Structure 1
């Protein structure tokens, strides 16, 4: 039985902790804040409750597998997990609206045919066939296996089978998601739809690789889910599974450094006054350390010592954050209201230019995601509604956020008629709030790992050059997002339990 110290109580860290505890190890989690869940937080006030982090769960199979592998009670016995149908409703710049059904590629194509015309629906259907091929080529190396030592194979090969595009005397294939939209989809509403899947993750479709086509494919193929009571309930369930497996949690314990002995990790040390150990000791010894922190924090913990070998994927700092506006409304949620509506910007190029410029700024016309859960647990009674708006903003964004929140509310009125007349109050959650919850500089949100693009969208491997030290969560392989965090926990547990020969789930 090994002693394992886990730094941070985010979703990936807790997923690793539960799996390691079941394998017979003694696991202690040290979290600098006063609670678990990382970005999965909840704000409660005057009978209203809001998720302040991710509001939906793709690929629930990841967490179902975690619960199957760590106890008798399955995930669905611990949380009320429901499919969101329609998966999303879209309001385009020209006023066109379309609702896309959940986990039905054929249903999505039919919906687009009815809303945008037969040709548009056919093009999206053909695109999904190609996206499925990209998914088949990258699913295992990007999600289910430790990062390949020869990761440049993933970086240099574009897995999306783009359609040749002939212009004048040249024939080219799409290398970016924007080119996929322009050359293969053509309809500006389909282009906006495709781009919204990249923007949701803080990616500019003009520079995101064509392999980002897997993002809409995953949603259409595997569906979108919600946990009743709010997504914070998922964090609660994972935390309780850890406790049931005898994982020890110490909150308010800020790790400030790693201990090394004989060339391998030997434990962690703590900030003055936050020591979790008895007798005032400022260290906790461990045979393995699992760090659920950003690359910058890991550098501080190792005091600049190199933990990545030559030729490894460099740590990503992220480029985008989120602004979240929480709305308490008078009047109940109308029956048949979509859970999620994406209100597309009136000027997509200007929005992307603003977000990716130097210096980056806040767009005048943002794309806004509107979440309106049908969940009595979030409101004081059925005469009120809790609505959450999110928009991508640059990491570290500070000045002008309240004005941007007002622009978001204005955009959301296209999805919620009479919104301002119903508004009791609103509260803004900024990149600074994300930074406080997760430790990510500027509130940066990690992106999921994607192939091609020279490796820009890959993340460092879970193992390090320091024996016994592993990394977990959105800032390491396989990247950001709730499913990816759970997968990183499974990969780290496999590497510790089975050793370097571990090759992932079968």
Structure 2
């Protein structure tokens, strides 16, 4: 079988590496950092531990499939998965709060009716039914198959269904997620709930296609999960599976170029002057970096053009708290922004004064992440405008203060319990995420602006993997990209995805 050189040790790259090794290929991974996992990192201090990347998992079946296909030891033998219930608690701008049960449509409908008033739950439940229709229409071409050569069909077709409008006596099709909220949910709190799923991926709901309705549907249908010990444990398990399948890892190995021989990718050039020859190259890096490594444009003449503009990034505050986690504390709370318009405008350009964004508060009940039962570790995060020097200045400290203020709605006595805090800006991840930008899952419609470049390239022998390639960002999508790339290399261009 062939030699495979993989650039980067992110989750998608490792997923591809493990599958290719099982198929009989000799796989070597070259990572310029000193560890694996990409954005799935951990910070530790004084006995406290924090996930600095994703803190929750949806669609665990993607990673279960990886472990089944790469050995007899299932995922649950390597990590402990715990369903988070409630999946989230939402605190809205008017002070109203609601806890949403995990993966229960009836439970969510009842909770929303009780918290927001009769009818709110049924409107959300009807929305989920329509979201499922969008999911069914796009699941296979957007998640389970390589990007079609005729991808413009996806770019122009809005899979979210039109909704009958009684007054107009006709149907009306929402073009954006914001229109779904305004026309169908008709409650600013339900709209905030809907839009929070887009904001978490750095998407402005005013321009994001209605097909983004699949994002809340995924959580509703497949549940929200926590990895005991932190999501970094999932990265460890995938890395160890790769090592067990004899994947070679080279850390601190800076790739400076992709070799070309006879018109195809033939290996890698490294910063130390060495060369790693290969029959195929798999690149788990940002499109801009890959373009530099190949010295050729990979998005010409019909390819999906990646959004190379600076993407919003994740601003994170890690909190070390004295005192035990109170009984009944919720794992995941979303504290919504007080000013929707100001928040959305701040995604595109930083204001002179920081704007309080929608804040996610993660409070895992996990002994592995705290020194003892008399302390608690908490992660606050928000998506903000692209990385800049302001994040590391007094402006960034004021933004961190705003996140802490928001978190007081989720954590009783927060300021009195605070021992110390650590601020992590979008650029602190040390990955190829384009200045710490958040990569969103691929979405249909929107004239193709919400798709990602295909896993194959116009440079034969070179493949893209990870969150900056099809099918986009997020832990489940990264795992899917690894499966697609492995299938394309093992089965060739006729590969059409899992059946």
TM-score class normalised by the smaller sequence: over 0.9
The match for 1:418 is 413
How many Å apart are 1:162 and its aligned residue?
2.8
Question: What is aligned with 2:302?
Answer: 311
- Tell me if the contact between 1:6 and 1:291 (Cα under 8 Å) persists in the aligned partners: yes
Change (3 A) 1:392 1:309: same
**In 2 relative to 1, CA 349–363 (structure 1 residues): closer, same or farther, beyond 3 Å?**
farther
Do residues 478 (structure 1) and 495 (structure 2) align? no
CA distance in 2, matches of 1:443, 1:4: 27
2:200 corresponds in structure 1 to 200
Q: Within 2, Cα distance between the matches of 1:16 and 1:361?
A: 44
How many pairs does the alignment contain? 494
What do you get for the CA RMSD once the two structures are aligned? Answer: 1.5
Of 342-351 and 396-405, deviating more is: 396-405
Residues of 2 paired with 1:363 and 1:203: CA distance?
19
1:388 match: 379
Task: Return 5+ residue gaps in structure 1 as ranges.
Answer: 273-280
| Correspondent of 1:441 among 434, 438, 445 | 434
Q: Secondary structure at the match of 1:392?
A: strand
The corresponding residue for 2:184 is: 184
Please give the per-residue CA displacement for 1:88-115, whole angstroms capped at 9, x wherever unaligned. Answer: 0011111111111111122211211121
Deviation at 1:165, TM superposition (A): 4.5
Correspondence for 2:424: 429
SS class of match (1:356): coil
3-state SS of paired residue (2:381)? strand
Aligned CA distance change for structure 1 residues 262 and 126 (closer, same or farther; 3 Å) = same
Question: Is the aligned partner of 1:130 residue 2:130?
Answer: yes
TM-score between the two structures when normalised by the length of structure 2: 0.97
Query: Does the CA contact (< 8 Å) of 2:346 and 2:384 recur in 1?
Result: no
Q: In the TM superposition, what are the counterparts of 1:210-289 in structure 2 within 5 Å? A: 210-272=210-272, 282-289=274-281
Runs of 5+ in structure 2 lacking a partner? none
1:345 correspondence with 2:340: no
Q: Corresponding residue for 1:74?
A: 74
Whether the aligned pair in 1 keeps the contact of 2:164 and 2:170 (CA below 8 Å) is no
Contact 1:327 1:388 (C-alpha < 8 Å) held by counterparts: yes
The answer to whether the Cα contact below 8 Å between 1:362 and 1:394 also exists between their aligned partners in 2 is no
Higher mean Cα deviation, 116-125 or 126-135?
116-125
* Structure 1 residue 445 displacement after superposition: 1.4
Answer whether contact 2:162 2:174 (CA < 8 A) is retained. Answer: yes
Distance 1:167 1:402 in 2: 50
In the alignment, the residues of structure 2 paired with residue 403 and residue 418 of structure 1 have an alpha-carbon distance, to the nearest angstrom, of 20
1:118 counterpart SS class: coil
Secondary structure at the aligned position of 1:149 is classed as: coil
Aligned residue in 2 for 1:375: 366
- Separation in 2 of the partners of 1:151 and 1:330? 53
Q: Distance in 2 between matches of 1:297 and 1:376?
A: 39
1:43 corresponds to = 43
8 A contact 2:83–2:226 mirrored in 1:
yes
Q: 1:464 aligns with which of 457, 467, 486?
A: 457
Distance of 2:166 and 2:288 partners within structure 1: 44
Structure 2 distance, partners of 1:401, 1:360, is: 12
Taking structure 1 as reference, are residues 86 and 170 closer, same or farther at Cα in structure 2, changes over 3 Å only? Answer: closer
Deviation, 1:403, is: 1.0
In 2, the alpha carbon distance for the partners of 1:8 and 1:403 equals 34
TM-score, with structure 1 as normaliser: 0.95
1:320 aligns with 2:323: no
Q: What CA distance in whole angstroms lies between the structure 2 residues aligned with 1:321 and 1:167?
A: 41
How much does 1:166 deviate?
7.4
Deviating above 6 A after TM superposition, structure 1's stretches of 4 or more consecutive aligned residues are 166-171
Change (3 A) 1:126 1:168: closer
Q: Is residue 505 from structure 1 mapped to residue 491 from structure 2 by the alignment?
A: no
Taking the aligned partners of 1:363 and 1:216, their CA distance within structure 2 comes to: 28
2:286 aligns with one of 272, 285, 294: 294
- Contact 1:166–1:172 under 8 Å retained in 2: no
How far off is 1:363 after superposition? Answer: 4.5
Contact 2:211 2:443 in 1 (8 A): yes
Q: Distance in 1 between matches of 2:215 and 2:488?
A: 27
Contact residue 12 and residue 480 of structure 2 kept, 8 A: yes
Distance in 2 (alpha carbons) for counterparts of 1:54 and 1:440: 14
Q: What is the CA distance between 1:164 and its match in structure 2?
A: 4.2
Aligned to 2:103: 103
Cα distance between partner residues in 2 of 1:354 and 1:169: 38
